[in-house]
Amino acid sequence: MKCPFCQHSDTQVLDTRVSEEGDVIRRRRRCAQCDKRFTTYERIELTMPSVVKKNGSRTEYDPAKLRASLTLALRKRPVSAEAVDAAVHRIEEKLLSSGQREVLSGHIGELVMRELKRLDKIAYIRFASVYKSFEDVAEFQDAIAEVGRERKPSGK
């Protein structure tokens, strides 16, 4: 680590501490040449993968677009903002943990559908009808039947 005062490249670590959250390391350092002390911080730097659209173009991941898609599908449905935030967080975690530098927009759409199916079946059908571009009523009925099959028995 280079000294910020004299630019000397030999510095000594005097103290190392991990933050309470465990995601940042704080180090107190001393320059071997000018004897001045300074603090450095280390943190993980993760970047979201680029999104490859259907037409092959690439764009930066935009969390606002993800949230807007979920919110539109969930419009006038009894799902809390906290539940939407948690769904966005789960999708972003899956994208980050994949370790990929690029992800197909279709994969993100599938992740959104999976989350909507967990949150609200009606919102899932709304999103699926647009996302999958249903051509006729039969495809729509198939999607509804699929959700109906997944319902848990009520025990009656």
Q: What is the pLDDT along the chain (156 residues), one digit of tens a residue?
A: 899 999 999 999 999 999 888 889 999 999 999 999 999 999 877 788 999 998 999 999 999 999 999 999 999 999 999 999 999 999 999 999 888 999 999 999 999 999 999 999 889 888 887 767 666 677 767 777 777 776 555 544
pLDDT in the model for residue 11: 95
DSSP 66-105: HHHHHHHHTTTSS--HHHHHHHHHHHHHHHHHH--SEEEH
pLDDT in the model for residue 130: 77
> Which among 41, 92, 86, 90 is positioned nearest to 63, based on CA atoms?
92
pLDDT in the model for residue 125: 84
* DSSP summary character for residue 6: T
With beta carbons less than 8 A apart as the criterion, state whether 54 and 26 touch: no
Going from the C-alpha of 4 to that of each of 8, 29, 30, 69, 139, the distances in angstroms are 8, 11, 11, 46, 64
Distance of CA 86 to the CA centre of its chain: 10
Q: For residues 80 and 76, what is the distance between their CA atoms, to the nearest angstrom?
A: 11
pLDDT in the model for residue 20: 81
pLDDT in the model for residue 140: 64
pLDDT in the model for residue 28: 96
Q: For residues 35 and 125, what is the distance between their CA atoms, to the nearest angstrom?
A: 66
